[in-house]
Structure 1
Amino acid sequence: MSENRGVGVHLDAARDQLLAERVAVAAKVVAAGRFALARMAELGHRCEDLIVDDWELVAAELGAELGISRGRACTLITQGRDLLTRLPAFAEVFGGGAVDLRVLRVILHRCALLTDPDIMTIVDAQLAADAPSWNALSDERVGELIDWMIVEVDAVAVRRARETRRRRHLSVAPVGDGMVEIYGVVDAAKGAVFDQGVEALARTVCPHDPRTHAQRRADAVDALALRATRIACLCGQQDCPAAGNEAPSGQFVIHVLAEQGTVAAAQGRPGQSGNTGAPAKTPRPALLPGYGPITIDQLADLLPAARIRPVPEAADLGAELGYQPSRKLADFVGCRDLTCRWPGCTMALARCDIDHTTPWPYGPTHPSNTKLYCRIQHLIKTFHCGPGGWNDHQHPDGTLTLTAPNGRTYTTKPDGALFFPQFTVATAELGAIDIPPPIPGRERAAPKRSRTRTQNRAYRIAHERALNRAAIAADPPPF
């Protein structure tokens, strides 16, 4: 009897830790939502029509503070905002640890089409009462229960059977061992090329196409199978600006990084060694940035069609005259950094820009003054810098210190040195450089949106509700 009680202590501890975990997660989500609402009000919503809008600026601050990616920061903001503004009664229950985060995700998704505040209040109260008993249920059953609530008060807001089609997407994601997953497993290099082809087709539509980017990628599979050069835009406009768009034809380029000994082994030649009597050193694997390591056998398959280009040594690089980095400098910076250098961002080098830390021409085009930023972070740094904005400082070894508008600092180090230690070498120290302050209101020169984020969300909700309304009219109850 006493032995059973002793074992039961561990069950009690596991239960208590689960509750503590739920409370902590809920506090994080709600804090992210409160920060987002307060910070966007502080910004005055002045950037809503820009590509880098208030939402992106808030996500950048939250992501840097938590050390998470832009996508995860946006998810936290969305969850916190919706809890505070749409589900206040359920938010109290969720904050007490009574409901798992998994259930919250299903709730937010299934309630996304509710637009009437009075109906939202009714559903909110029902969720607060019923959701604590749903933690042991599957996502599918939770979705069914939520739909049962919604169908009684707003049948048009139920996310219907075509949800299966709406979830369509084509994922190309690393799964380890030099492979990627595309509803199956293929060689990583072939997957990277396939990914680029799908991406190019998905971008042939105009900004008014109602599909998400993931859905356009899924629809691009048909175009690939038919060897088409574009996918049909669904904007419905007779003068669609994307009418003549085509995906670029020709070869796609992927980059594989490998040491000289690895390339030699893949070519069937013994690696170089200073001591010919010593046993041969096992070569390191090659690296396909964004997808992970690949084996020497896989590298050997790629070499016949590859162009081998040595990465220059840091000591061989100096200041360049123009704004655009040379190929040698771009190769060095790409191999040193591998990903976007913004805190928490893991965007691979193929989708990054080379940014001048101290803006050119005040700062030189030099390895100590250049690094990788993805497009969104590059726009933030370019148009939201200076006093009261973001500022970065680059050290000779590539370490980056970023100062947020709130004065907090974050440090990132180049990822290349994690795989290839030779990239830990420092380049030249440039010293302090005086630059004039940014022009006031500079952010208004940033690229603009055709529709604001709020307008896009309202458009998607209205579009889906209209489809539901048509489906109900075509097949009215009873059902």
Structure 2
Amino acid sequence: MAITTAPTTESLSDAVRRQARAEAHTVQTMLDYRDAEMARTAQIESSLRRKIERSAIALTIGEATGMSEVQIHLRLSIADRVREKTPLVWEAFVDGLIDFSRVRDISATIEKLHRQESIDRLDDRVIGYATSHTGAELQQWLRRFVQRVESDLATERADAERDQRHVSVTHGDDSMSWLNAYLPSHQAAAIEARLRKEARKSADPDDDRTVPQREADLLVAWCTSSDSVTSAVDANIAVTVGADVLAGATPGFAESTDGAWAVPASWLADVIATGSTFWHRIVVDPVTDDVLAHEYVGRFAPDTLALALQFLHGVCQAPGCMVPSERCDLDHRIPHPAGPTNGDNMGPLCRRHHNLKGHGLLHWSTSPPQPPPEPLVIELYPPRTDFVMEYVAA
């Protein structure tokens, strides 16, 4: 009776490694054939004939492998770059430790590095990560590697690429079109976050649109509305940034918490100043990546802070006003962006008193309360000892 053995994880790993070695053997054979043909054609006296025969090398390889000339040229260029500049990576590929897709990603990273010491450092470190992580994780690791070892050059490239931002419209069939936008990553992430948040809010029971359809309709409404309020991007975005980068000691990037994107840290300053997006800034140790601080650097309070301030104060903080805090705006005593978004600098004001403050008829005073010489100065409700709200005589 035949005995069958169920496959194990080790057998699966062996199969993957054999496949990777087969890929490496195929690419190596392509290189050997190309190099042999280059040597042979070098003996041809006619330069025209030599040029014609060399131009057919990729076509010949493609016919034998079932690939196009473009695919052959791409594989050969990747192999040449990796074999020449990162010999340890090439050795790992030949041994079947990494597959061609990882080699391709590493090759693309080599193109972005301009300093030989950076390439040598990549060659020393990348195999240990590539052999124990997925392809998507490796791509994120490679991007972070470039941003850390050559942050000055990476920032320059990002600044140059930001100049290429644009929007394009491609009209298709069936009365539909594509709207494409090439935007800085942090702005695109803020738009994406707001779309997801708004489209998933409880809808009218009769609204049978899918979430993607609601996202599309919202985007159209924001782009075509003349109301400046509806066009603002209100979203919660978190980024991590090294303490050395935050202090200005070295150029660097602020990275999204999921690692999907990163932008030069200086780019966030302009967006944060607008107050349209609430940014959580997580400061990390540049060496250990330990979290050193979690800061709120946007205009709007996150839900937890907003709820805490509602519970703390209970009612509008204008003198004598009893409007419940949940029906109030959260106001900055020291206006944003000069004033921080935190509990010490914020309090609830009803819409009427918020407008009065905005017109300079009501303002916060951080000095300790004194016995009022006249009824114009009234203590806060509930009583506080660190600030008062004052009416300003018109």
TMscore range, shorter length: 0.3 to 0.5
Normalising by the residue count of structure 1, what TM-score does the alignment of the two structures yield?
0.30
Return the structure number with greater relative CO, CA threshold 8 A, min gap 6: 1
Normalising by the residue count of structure 2, what TM-score does the alignment of the two structures yield?
0.35
Q: Which is greater in Rg?
A: 2
